[in-house]
Amino acid sequence: MTVGSQVKSCFSSIKSAEATIQLLASKTQKYEAHAKFKEAEKIMASIKNDLQKQVIQLTKEEPQYK
Amino acid sequence: MPGWITLIVKSLILLVALFFLTKWLGKKHLSHMNIFEYISGVVLGGIVAIHTVTPESNIIYGLIAMFIWFIIPFGVELFSLKSKTFRNFTQGKSTVFIQDGKIMEDNLKKEGYSTDDLLEKLRDNNIFLASDVEFAVLEPTGTLSVLPKRENRPLTAKDLGLNLAPDKEPQTVIMDGKVLLEPLANLNLNKNWLETELDKMNVSIENVFLGQADHDGQLYVDLYDDKLVVPEPSEKPLLLATMKKCQADLELFALATENVESKELYERNSRKLQHATELIRPFLK
């Protein structure tokens, strides 16, 4: 596995986690839990953005494994 | 009218009267009654018993007697709700038996408790050493309430400084294979949601003996067919595991890369992810 694909798989795991958090946030009836899930969702979104940049950069660096 | 018919009619009337009177007297448990309430309850029963088995007795007298024995305890209870002094008089005050870890011998004597009685009461509370007790008080109902010393109390989340998510009561949404709509509505869920969740578990609703849902929208079921294995809701543990794994991955990338900029980015995001995990961890338990 190249570094690029490793980062990519991590990126998709982050995406899946973000989606699950989103789901839990909308499902829960507890106000406090809802707020915390929303906050976590924001953090996950920012991590996702950062990683996305990294993925693009790595694909540029390793074009042969694209 | 033959005697046996009178007896049946009388029994029925008195039984109904007794049922309503005891209902109105409230639903205190027998062990939580003081001696006055207890005895008036027994007398009510006694009146009914005497008047049902003695054919020559006048039922009107029985009903009047029952009414008196009902209205006085009822009035006393009503009035003692309003006045604290009256309550102290009718229900009695509690007596302190152990204070600051020291047994109050005078109070024991006043209530007619021997050392053996006190030890027995303490053992009832799972305490075998009198010096483990910080404070103990004899309630008017005759039960002993005990506050053990700090070090002998069970450990709580507060002692450990744990951060726990608030809990709300779960609702029973399926009983004997039938959907209960009101509890479902309490959770802001509908029948469609329930059917989807059951489909996910691959069980039919007829097979569900009991189904409960919590405020996070997780469904727990028990089936008639005990041989079938039902999956536990795995969404939350799975999420926690994914987040932990991603964080470990990010740390690994940070260690592996030689590009300073990327290293910094991975480390920053790893920290962020850790923060997010800590944030929602209490809610994922």
Domain segments of chain B: what residues?
A: 3-89, 95-152, 171-233, 236-284
Please list the residues that pair with B211 across neighbouring strands.
B174, B221
User: Residue B57 above 90 pLDDT?
Assistant: no
How confident is the prediction along chain A (66 residues), in pLDDT tens digits per residue? 778 888 899 999 999 999 999 988 888 888 888 898 999 999 999 999 999 988 898 888 877 766
Please count the residue pairs, one from chain A and one from chain B, whose beta carbons lie less than 8 angstroms apart.
Answer: 86
Whether the CB of A12 is below 8 Å from some CB of chain B: the reply is: no
Give chain B's contact residues with A (Cβ, < 8 Å): 165-166, 168, 187-188, 215-217, 235-236, 238-239, 242-243, 245-246, 249-250, 253, 256-257, 262, 265-266, 268-269, 272-273, 275-276, 279-280, 283
In terms of residues, how long is chain A? 66
CA dihedral B72, B78, B83, B85 (to 10 degrees): 40
Higher pLDDT, B59 or B267: B267
CA angle centred on B38, ends B32 and B42, rounded to 5°: 145
CA dihedral B97, B98, B102, B103 (to 10 degrees): 30
CA dihedral B20, B26, B31, B37 (to 10 degrees): -80
* Mean confidence (pLDDT) of chain B: 87
Q: Specify the range with the lowest mean pLDDT, choosing from A44-53, B1-10, B14-23, B117-126.
A: B1-10
Coil, strand or helix at B152? helix
Q: What residues contact residue B201 under an 8 Å CB cut-off, 6+ apart?
A: B219, B221, B230, B231
Contact between chains at B216 and A28 (C-beta distance less than 8 A): yes
Question: Hey, which CATH number is domain B171-233, 3.30.9.10, 3.30.240.20, 3.40.50.2000, 3.30.1330.40?
Answer: 3.30.240.20
CB atoms within 10 A of CB B58: 11
In terms of residues, how long is chain B? 285
Confidence band (pLDDT; 50, 70, 90) for B77?
confident
User: Residue B116 above 90 pLDDT?
Assistant: yes
Domains B95-152 and B171-233 share a fold: yes
Confidence band (pLDDT; 50, 70, 90) for B215?
confident
What's the total number of domains in chain A? 1
Nearest chain A residue (CA) to B272? A43
ipTM of the complex: 0.88
Question: Tens digits of per-residue pLDDT, B153-201?
Answer: 888 888 888 877 777 888 999 999 889 999 888 888 888 989 998 998 8
Q: What is the CATH number of domain B95-152?
A: 3.30.240.20
Q: How far is CA B66 from CA A4, A48, B45, B47, B79, in A?
A: 88, 77, 9, 7, 20
Domain, as residue range, for A47 = 3-65
Note the pLDDT of residue B210: 92
Q: Where are the alpha helices (DSSP H) in B25-174?
A: 35-53, 59-82, 84-91, 105-111, 115-124, 157-160
What region does B100 belong to: left with phi over 0, alpha with psi -120 to 50, or beta? left
Sheet of B95-99: strands edge to edge? B102-103, B95-99, B133-138, B144-148
Give A-chain residues touching B283 at CB under 8 angstroms: 24, 28, 33, 36-37
User: Residue B119 above 90 pLDDT?
Assistant: yes
User: Residue B11 above 90 pLDDT?
Assistant: no
